[in-house]
Amino acid sequence: MLSGKIALITGASRGIGRQCALTLAGYGAEVIINYNGSKEMALKTVEEIQSHGGKAHAVQFSVADFQSGQDAIVNLLEQFGRIDILVNNAGITKDNLILKMSENDFNNVLQVNLSGSFYMIKHLYKHFLKQRSGRIINISSVSGVMGNAGQANYAASKAGIIGLTKSVAKELASRNITVNAIAPGYIDTDMTGAMSESAKESVMQQIPLKRVGTGMDIAEMVAFLCSEKASYITGQVISVDGGMHI
Ligand code: NAP
């Protein structure tokens, strides 16, 4: 489904991003696994893909650092000649009620989740325009759709990603580039593993399908949106949340 395509996935050392890398590689894409701090995990993911006959590479940079991201993209384009798919997945949380949320915790989350996604799109923008094709998938969140007490910074960054997605979709549609967002619900990763047992139970009550999502649930939607089958879909926010936001 994706053979011949080169996909860059941010934050692919762990969790949803890692599963996206494995899944896209399984569909034949050559994947570039970006990581920030988890070098060993990123290299393990590369090895896993290679052991199944796939092509994968790891590249370190923080999406929140404009210059590092730009330098990395210039190098990658020199090395590979093209990038067809960008999955803006890297993300962090620093949850707290506003009463206790520091200015830094608000700004850091916005910087990684929202500015980081904008930076990556900007770094690849001219390349996609020239190529007259491309797929951009931005990972938003059910929190960005519904809001969530204790996550004002995170929800604002993820709602921002939805506005970013729709705007860039309008800018790039005439060049055959689609831009979509996925809003995952509660997915079993390190990010949700950090939640208290009572918070997890309360989230479970809100999921009509009565199960926690997996990285695979999200990765299969990413793969579909990257494929030719999704060529008439752009500017959309697809919820993969077990019905959480109904
Ligand atoms: P995770 O397990 O905590 O993994 C986060 C990933 O992001 C790691 O690979 C991490 O890389 C990377 N990352 C963090 N800061 C980075 C930076 N500055 N530059 C580059 N990479 C960075 O999280 P996850 O649950 O898989 O979440 C992935 C995405 O899905 C996030 O955008 C998250 O907001 C979104 N999401 C998750 C859920 C959920 O329930 N899990 C729900 C809705 C949306 P290193 O380890 O290398 O630093």
Check residue 199 and give its pLDDT. Answer: 87
CATH number for the domain harbouring residue 234: 3.40.50.720
Q: Does residue 223 have its Cβ closer than 6 Å to ligand 1?
A: no
| Alpha-carbon gap, residue 25 to 224, rounded angstroms | 13
Query: Which residue's alpha carbon is nearest to atom 12 within ligand 1?
Result: 11
Structural domain contains residue 1: no
Structural domain contains residue 219: yes
Structural domain contains residue 244: no
pTM of the predicted model, to two decimals?
A: 0.98
Check residue 233 and give its pLDDT. Answer: 98
Number of independent structural domains in the chain: 1
- The beta strands (E) that lie in the chain are given as 6-9, 30-35, 56-60, 85-88, 134-139, 177-184, 237-240
pLDDT tens for 163-222 read 999 999 999 999 999 999 999 999 999 999 988 899 899 999 999 999 999 999 999 999
Structural domain contains residue 25: yes
Question: Does 154 qualify as catalytic in the annotation?
Answer: yes
Q: Which residues form the domain of 63? A: 6-239
Check residue 209 and give its pLDDT. Answer: 98
Q: How far is the CA of 91 from the centre of ligand 1 (A)?
A: 4
CA-closest candidate to residue 215, choices 192, 193, 246, 187:
187
Structural domain contains residue 93: yes
Q: Does residue 119 have its Cβ closer than 6 Å to ligand 1?
A: no
Which residues sit opposite 58 in a β-bridge? 33
- Probe residue for ligand 1, chosen from 41, 89, 200 as the CB with the greatest number of ligand atoms within 8 Å: 89
Q: Report the mean per-residue pLDDT for the chain.
A: 98
User: Across residues 69-73, what is the average pLDDT?
Assistant: 98
